[in-house]
Amino acid sequence: MAGSATQRLRELGVVLPAPPEPAGTYSSVVVHGAYAWVSGQIVRKDGRIVHPGLVGGTVPPEVARDVARDAMLQALSALQAALGSLDRIRQVVRVVVYVASAASFDRQHEVANGATEVLVAVFGDRGRPARATIGVAALPLNAPVELEVQVAITEG
């Protein structure tokens, strides 16, 4: 894949959302040395959680996959704000996707694909991270998906 992450977003017709504001005592992104960590991202619209509930219960897996995609776009927005440009990202190192799951739901990995497919589309092989997908009983504010990201960066 040729071109920068910025160019690739433009080619894909993707406009990043506004960077998220921390809702507590933490930073959206911590940059230290050659790495940046994005705090857990949950998706809100107009101050409300998008598609609240349990995946495989009140939230269909396909909808949760779209929420995971939007959470990753939000994480990229946070990185862009912290780094000045997504072009500083050398490698997406790790992604953890938490899925608020109904008791019998066992397809969390399919939900997480919504997030990591964004990274591969934008960064190519540099966007293919190590990944953990974890089903949980509940997430903050009844969000169906929360994710965190670690990236390796160039000096800025």
Q: Give me the average pLDDT of each 10-residue run along the chain (156 residues).
A: 84 94 93 97 94 98 98 98 97 98 98 98 97 98 98 90
Tokens read off for 116: 């990591």
Tokens read off for 92: 């997406």
CB 79 within 8 A of CB 86: yes
- Does residue 42 form part of some domain? yes
CB 28 within 8 A of CB 19: yes
* Residues 101, 61: Cα–Cα separation, whole Å: 10
* Residues 70, 8: Cα–Cα separation, whole Å: 17
CB 89 within 8 A of CB 126: yes
The predicted pLDDT at position 134 comes to: 98
- Does residue 50 form part of some domain? yes
- Does residue 54 form part of some domain? yes
The predicted pLDDT at position 2 comes to: 53
Type of residue at 3:
G
Q: The CATH number of the domain where 35 resides is what?
A: 3.30.1330.40
- Which residues are CB-neighbours of 45 under 8 A, at least 6 positions away? none
Q: Smallest Cα–Cα separation from 80: which of 138, 128, 149, 142?
A: 149
User: What is the pTM for the complete model shown?
Assistant: 0.96
- Does residue 24 form part of some domain? no
Counted domains in the chain: 1
- Does residue 8 form part of some domain? no
The predicted pLDDT at position 47 comes to: 87
Q: Which domain holds residue 129?
A: 29-153
- Does residue 81 form part of some domain? yes
The predicted pLDDT at position 124 comes to: 96
